[in-house]
C-alpha cells in the first residue's frame, strides 16, 4: 500500500475517532453545535491563499452564522516517532488562520519526540495517540495535558472561554437598573413591613428579630458555615437561591463585617431572587473598577449593577437616610452645634474635625455599623462634605474623644427628643 493510501486511510480513521470523541464528550464540546470537515480549506491572509488541513471541527453556537471556534486537526501515520518539524509546521499553519479562534489537535499512531512534545505543550495543542484497536486522547477533563511520562501540563483556557462566551448570554435576564432612590424606597417598604418603629424612631436594626421575620414570612433560612472555597479564599456570604437560604461564614460573627454582609445578602434576596442567572455568566463578568476622576465605582456590566444594588440596599436598611439625619441632628443638639444641623462639614479646623469624630463614634455605635461603612453612606447621601485633600482619619482621635462623646450622649438618654 502506497504512502498516500496509508495517509488517506489514517485520516478516515481519525475522522471516526474525532466523531466518537465528540459524541462521548471527551473533547468537552457540545455535539449538536459541532461539524467535522474533511480536507477543509481556510484562508491565510499571510499567504493570500487557502490552506488545506486534514480535518477540522467547527463549533458554531446557536443563532450564529459563522463558527466561534475551529479545531484544526493534523493526522500523521508514522512508523517512527513524530519529529518536531512536523508539529512546528502544523503550528505555523494553524496560526495563519485569522478571524476566528483556533486550537490544534495532533493525531498520530506513534509517540512524539521530546522536542515535538514540547512544541505541542507550548502551542496548547492536544494530541491523540491511535493504536490498532483504540485511541487515547491525551487531555483530561480539567484541561490538563498528560505527557508521555504522565506529567501534568497546564493548557490555556482559550477553549473554555471561547465556548462560554459564544454560548452564554451577555446579560442577566430580568435585571432592573434601579437607582439609589428606588432602592431606598424598596428598603423603607421592607423595614416598615418588618417593624415600623425602626423608621419612626430611628432605631437600630435588630438582626436577630429580622432573621425570625425572614424565616416566618419568606421561609428564608440563614446559616453560618465555613465558606472556604476551592481556591483557598473565604467567601463572607452568599444567597443560595436554589435552596432559599443565606450562608454566612461563621468567622465574621461578632465582627463589624457581619451586619453589612448579612444585609448585603438580604439585598440579593429582596432584589434579585427572581433573576434568571447562570453562575458561569456571572463569574465571567469583571468586577467594577474605581474611577479616580469621579471617585465612584463604574457600573459597566450586570454583575456591577447587581453587587452595587445589594450594597445600596444593605446601607439603606442598616442606615436609613431619614434615621441618619434624625440621629445626626440629635447628637449635634447634644454637643451644642446649632449651625448646619443635619449636615457634616469637615475642613482643617480642629473643632470641625473633633465634631466629626464624635458624630462618627455616636452614629456607628447606634447603628452598629463599621465607621468605614458609615462614612461612605454619609458621603453618598451628601450629608458629609469635605475637600478632597482633607479626608480625615478619625482613628487618630478616636480613643481620646470616644469616652467624652458617649458620656455626653448618655446624659440625654431620657430626653423626650431622644430616639434611643
Q: Which residue has the higher pLDDT, 207 or 412?
A: 207
Is residue 370 within 8 A of residue 394, CB to CB? The reply is no
Query: Quick check: helix, strand or coil at residue 151?
Result: coil
Q: Which residue has the higher pLDDT, 95 or 214?
A: 214
Distance CA 284, CA 62 (A): 20
Residue range 45-81, pLDDT digits in tens = 778 889 999 999 998 877 677 887 889 999 988 888 8
Is residue 401 within 8 A of residue 361, CB to CB? The reply is yes
Q: What is the mean pLDDT of residues 339-360?
A: 87
Distance CA 235, CA 238 (A): 8
Highest mean pLDDT pick, 89-93, 293-297, 400-404: 89-93
Is residue 318 within 8 A of residue 367, CB to CB? The reply is yes
The three grid cell numbers given for residue 321, joined into one nine-digit string: 437616610
Is CATH 1.10.240.10 the right assignment for the domain spanning 180-191+218-318? no
The CATH number assigned to the domain with range 3-167 reads: 3.40.1350.10
- pLDDT tops 70 at residue 295: no
pLDDT at 413: 39
Highest mean pLDDT pick, 12-21, 286-295, 312-321, 333-342: 312-321
What confidence tier does 298 reach under pLDDT thresholds 50, 70, 90?
low
What confidence tier does 296 reach under pLDDT thresholds 50, 70, 90?
low
Query: Quick check: helix, strand or coil at residue 83?
Result: coil
What confidence tier does 348 reach under pLDDT thresholds 50, 70, 90?
confident
pLDDT at 316: 96
Q: What is the mean pLDDT of residues 194-201?
A: 95
Q: What is the mean pLDDT of residues 163-182?
A: 71
Q: What is the mean pLDDT of residues 353-357?
A: 87
Q: What is the mean pLDDT of residues 355-374?
A: 91
Residue range 401-414, pLDDT digits in tens = 444 444 444 443 33
Is residue 226 within 8 A of residue 232, CB to CB? The reply is no
The three grid cell numbers given for residue 198, joined into one nine-digit string: 425602626
- pLDDT tops 80 at residue 6: no
Query: Quick check: helix, strand or coil at residue 239?
Result: strand
Q: What is the mean pLDDT of residues 311-317?
A: 94
pTM: 0.55
Least confident of 358-362, 374-378, 399-403, 416-420: 416-420
Residue range 121-161, pLDDT digits in tens = 777 788 888 877 677 776 433 343 333 444 433 434 555 55
pLDDT at 416: 33
Mean pLDDT across the chain: 78
CATH 3.40.1350.10 spans which residues of the chain? 3-167
Q: Could you tell me how many residues make up the chain? A: 420
Q: Using CA atoms in the order 24, 28, 29, 30, what is the torsion angle rounded to 10 degrees?
A: 70
pLDDT at 154: 40
pLDDT at 277: 59
Residue 224: CB atoms within 10 A of its CB come to 16
pLDDT at 406: 45
Nearest to 322 by CA among 381, 385, 364: 381
pLDDT at 45: 75
Report strand pairing: 126-130 vs 101-108. Answer: parallel
> Taking the mean position of all CA atoms in its chain, how far away is CA 385?
32
- pLDDT tops 60 at residue 163: no
CATH 1.10.10.2910 spans which residues of the chain? 180-191+218-318
Report strand pairing: 135-137 vs 126-130. Answer: antiparallel
pLDDT at 131: 78
pLDDT at 282: 54
pLDDT at 153: 36
Amino acid at each position: 500500500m502506497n504512502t498516500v493510501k496509508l495517509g488517506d486511510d489514517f485520516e478516515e480513521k481519525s475522522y471516526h475517532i474525532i466523531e466518537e470523541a465528540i459524541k462521548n464528550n471527551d473533547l468537552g464540546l457540545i455535539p449538536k453545535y459541532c461539524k467535522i470537515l474533511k480536507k477543509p480549506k481556510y484562508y491565510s491572509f499571510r499567504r493570500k491563499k487557502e490552506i488545506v488541513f486534514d480535518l477540522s471541527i467547527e463549533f458554531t453556537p446557536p443563532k450564529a452564522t459563522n463558527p466561534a471556534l475551529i479545531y484544526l486537526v493534523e493526522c500523521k501515520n508514522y512508523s517512527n516517532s513524530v519529529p518536531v518539524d512536523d508539529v512546528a509546521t502544523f503550528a505555523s499553519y494553524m496560526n495563519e488562520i485569522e478571524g476566528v479562534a483556533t486550537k490544534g489537535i495532533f493525531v498520530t499512531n506513534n509517540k512524539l519526540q521530546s522536542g515535538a512534545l514540547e512544541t505541542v505543550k507550548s502551542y496548547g495543542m492536544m494530541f491523540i495517540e491511535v493504536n490498532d484497536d483504540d485511541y487515547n486522547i491525551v487531555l483530561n477533563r480539567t484541561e490538563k495535558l498528560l505527557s508521555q511520562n504522565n506529567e501534568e501540563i497546564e493548557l490555556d483556557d482559550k477553549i473554555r472561554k471561547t465556548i462560554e462566551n459564544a454560548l452564554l448570554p451577555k446579560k442577566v435576564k430580568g435585571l432592573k437598573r434601579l437607582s439609589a432612590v428606588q432602592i431606598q424606597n424598596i428598603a423603607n417598604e421592607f423595614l416598615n413591613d418588618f417593624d415600623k418603629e425602626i423608621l419612626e424612631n430611628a432605631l437600630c436594626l435588630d438582626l436577630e428579630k429580622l432573621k425570625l421575620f425572614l424565616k416566618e414570612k419568606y421561609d428564608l433560612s440563614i446559616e453560618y458555615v465555613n465558606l472556604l472555597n476551592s481556591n483557598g479564599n473565604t467567601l463572607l456570604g452568599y444567597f443560595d437561591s436554589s435552596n432559599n437560604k443565606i450562608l454566612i461564614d461563621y468567622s465574621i460573627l461578632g465582627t463589624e463585617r457581619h451586619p453589612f454582609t448579612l444585609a448585603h445578602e438580604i439585598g440579593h434576596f429582596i432584589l434579585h431572587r427572581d433573576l434568571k442567572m447562570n453562575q458561569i455568566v456571572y463569574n465571567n463578568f469583571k468586577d467594577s473598577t474605581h474611577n479616580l476622576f469621579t471617585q465612584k465605582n463604574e457600573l459597566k456590566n450586570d454583575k456591577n449593577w447587581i453587587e452595587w444594588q445589594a450594597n445600596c440596599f444593605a446601607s439603606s436598611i442598616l442606615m436609613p437616610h431619614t434615621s441618619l439625619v434624625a440621629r445626626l441632628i440629635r447628637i449635634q443638639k447634644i454637643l451644642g452645634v446649632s449651625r448646619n444641623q443635619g449636615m457634616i462639614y469637615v475642613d482643617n479646623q480642629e473643632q470641625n474635625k473633633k465634631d466629626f469624630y464624635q458624630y462618627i463614634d455616636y452614629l456607628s455605635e447606634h447603628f452598629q455599623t463599621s465607621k468605614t461603612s458609615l462614612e461612605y453612606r454619609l458621603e453618598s447621601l451628601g450629608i458629609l462634605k469635605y475637600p478632597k485633600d482633607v479626608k480625615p482619619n478619625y482613628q487618630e482621635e478616636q480613643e481620646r474623644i470616644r469616652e467624652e462623646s458617649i458620656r455626653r450622649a448618655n446624659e440625654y438618654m431620657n430626653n423626650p427628643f431622644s430616639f434611643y
